[in-house]
A and B are shown apart, each in its own frame.
Chain A
Amino acid sequence: MATIVSVHSFRGGTGKSNSTANLASLCAQQGYRVAIVDTDIQSPGVHVLFGIDEAQAPRCLNDFLWGTCRIDEAAVDVTPVLEGGVEPVAGRLFVVPSSIKSDEIGRVLRDGYDVGRLNDGFRALIKSLALDLLFIDTHPGVNEETLLSLAISDLLVLIMRPDAQDYQGTAVTLELARRLEVPEILLTVNKVPPSLDAVKLRVDVARTFGVEVAGVLPLNLEMVEVASGGVFVTRYPEHPFTRELRVIAGRITVAAAPAARRA
């Protein structure tokens, strides 16, 4: 049984897709079989980080939701992208992208889809790719994909910035996550400016929400420079940002370990 990890933020621009891609990559580097499903149907983006283009991904999540392909047919093996880095990759990483074509985005928004089918897809993907970890990258805010991903997640990674709007939104998401009985929730504070005391911030946030803070990530200029042109942790394996992400990834694999320990 794989561990399902939802990565969510109430508002956009928190670095959610970047964090998902990097955390999943770190887990794959550690030897886990990992996949990311981009359920951000309205504004997909995680494929960019792995340089997936249309030629590589003739099928996508939309095709599966419309019943025109199996979900594993939409999965792209991006392990070679990680192998460009310093560390050898012991595991595997797959990405199921969402369509970037405007008419296909429009169609799924107009016609909707059977949310149960999305769940069937997650289960089928776990089985056919023998996954240890499934990361679900969600659209910011609250919608059906988000709620479904919360309902099936073993672990929620909630990302926020030290910003009043994010504080409010995070409280909303936490309430929903608790009502959907997500077993484990990890908060991550991202884009923390150097002027803030990271230790104090960690304590404050944990106290405010009553949730474990897995990491406090500094505002990262190099990340901005990478500009989603690649996976940060493979380019900067010794960067403080990567080290902090590695702690969070470690925390995720601890949560996954009982179920996902492989022979």
Chain B
Amino acid sequence: MSTPKSGNALDALLGRMKAAASPLREALLEIHGQYAPVMDGVVASYIPELALADPNWFGLSVVTVDGQSVDVGDHQQTFTIQSVSKPLIFGLALEDQGREAVLAKVGVEPTGEAFNSIELDEVSNRPYNPMVNAGAIATADLVAGKDLPDRVKRMLAMFGRYVGHPVHVDNGVYMSERSTGHRNRAIGHLMLNFGMISDRVDDTLDLYFQQCSVLVTAHDLAMVGATLANGGVNPVTGERALRQEFVRDLLSVMYTCGMYDSAGQWVYEVGLPAKSGVGGGIVAVVPGKLGIGLFSPPLDSKGNSVRGVGACVELARRFGLHLFESGFTGPDIVGELNPRRARGSG
């Protein structure tokens, strides 16, 4: 894999043109066209702001570890990151506190329970993993900073390094989450009761509601995935978003716990570390190769984007992306970025 080409504006421009002209773009358009008519699923409506999403929105992006990107559909439409933020906050907690301290507060075991269950491990009192709300609140508690604004600032800067530009919180969603998040408050206070989080619980819940309300696009999520695929370095800006040693921590919990309680089905079918959110976003990572960002608001009964899951299944199938795939004889997805490939055939 080649090194980042952020230094050369012409290279970046030529890369953009090649990607725009590549067979991969045609493949993504086909997959987009295949799933766009699917009208299953329901847009999240537990707060009114999310219900405003257009159910037809559907964006699909791929960013490679050398910074090439292919984007189709509504890839520039913003939405709130929601649970896709969880692995990234887990990463920030690992950097701030170290692996041992973090694992003392949250486990890495998948759970068949729903993402918002109020349940802790009976022996250790730890939340099962950082991808359920309890675990995410526990990891948010571990984000360092002298006060809430400082912690929020550090959290936003961290997201910014992943996506390669400053990010913002959707205030409408944040205020709504904040004023209706009784269940999450209960989870927070239960963990406080067990001594699993510090007594700045209200600040931490505030941080958590803000982290879920960060605005991103499908392209941003693909960039997050590409950064994780690239050892923690954003392939376009060349900036490190996560220390290399923790990349595998994130990818491991995403692999086993990333898709709510359909993680098993996901691993079986797609076989990639991924994380979904109720805003309709999904990030998937092909380590060493690329990140995939998907966005479409209608969700299945587990809380995963219906079109997002479908498109990812199809991408993995076509290009043999499943991590346990070997001897795959189909097209190489990175090779499909070369406009000169497959020319003259068909």
In the assembled complex, B66 has its CB within 8 A of some CB on chain A: no
Which chain A residues border B340 with CB–CB below 8 Å?
181, 183
Which chain A residues border B25 with CB–CB below 8 Å?
116, 119-120
Of chain A, the residue at the smallest CB distance from B19 is A116
Q: Are the CB atoms of A150 and B17 closer together than 8 Å?
A: yes
Which chain B residues border A1 with CB–CB below 8 Å?
343-346
Of chain A, the residue at the smallest CB distance from B72 is A116
In the assembled complex, A147 has its CB within 8 A of some CB on chain B: yes
B346 CB to nearest chain A CB (Å): 6
Q: Are the CB atoms of A151 and B344 closer together than 8 Å?
A: no
In the assembled complex, B70 has its CB within 8 A of some CB on chain A: yes
In the assembled complex, B114 has its CB within 8 A of some CB on chain A: no
Of chain A, the residue at the smallest CB distance from B76 is A114
Task: Give the complex CA separation of A176 and B14 in angstroms.
Answer: 8
Of chain A, the residue at the smallest CB distance from B71 is A116
Of chain A, the residue at the smallest CB distance from B346 is A1
In the assembled complex, A154 has its CB within 8 A of some CB on chain B: yes
A-B contacts at CB below 8 angstroms, number:
51
Contact of B14 among A119, A180, A258 (CB under 8 A): A180
A235 CB to nearest chain B CB (Å): 35
In the assembled complex, B16 has its CB within 8 A of some CB on chain A: yes
Which chain A residues border B20 with CB–CB below 8 Å?
115-116, 118-119, 148, 151
In the assembled complex, B313 has its CB within 8 A of some CB on chain A: no
Q: Mark A125-164, 1 if CB is under 8 A from B, else 0.
A: 0000000000000000000100110111010000000000
Q: Are the CB atoms of B344 and A115 closer together than 8 Å?
A: no
Q: Are the CB atoms of A144 and B17 closer together than 8 Å?
A: yes
Interface size on A (CB < 8 Å)?
21
B278 CB to nearest chain A CB (Å): 28
Of chain B, the residue at the smallest CB distance from A179 is B14
In the assembled complex, B21 has its CB within 8 A of some CB on chain A: yes
In the assembled complex, A123 has its CB within 8 A of some CB on chain B: yes
In the assembled complex, B26 has its CB within 8 A of some CB on chain A: yes
In the assembled complex, A254 has its CB within 8 A of some CB on chain B: no
Q: Are the CB atoms of B14 and A115 closer together than 8 Å?
A: no
In the assembled complex, B186 has its CB within 8 A of some CB on chain A: no
Contacts A152-B339, A180-B18, A181-B340 known; 8 new A-B pairs at CB < 8 A:
A1-B343, A116-B70, A116-B71, A120-B29, A148-B17, A151-B17, A154-B343, A180-B339
Q: Which residues of A contact B (CB under 8 A)?
A: 1, 115-116, 118-120, 123, 144, 147-148, 150-152, 154, 176, 179-181, 183, 258-259
Interface pairs (22), CB distance under 8 Å:
A1-B344, A1-B346, A115-B16, A115-B17, A116-B20, A116-B70, A118-B20, A119-B20, A119-B21, A119-B25, A144-B13, A147-B13, A147-B14, A148-B21, A151-B17, A152-B21, A154-B343, A176-B14, A180-B14, A180-B18, A181-B339, A183-B340
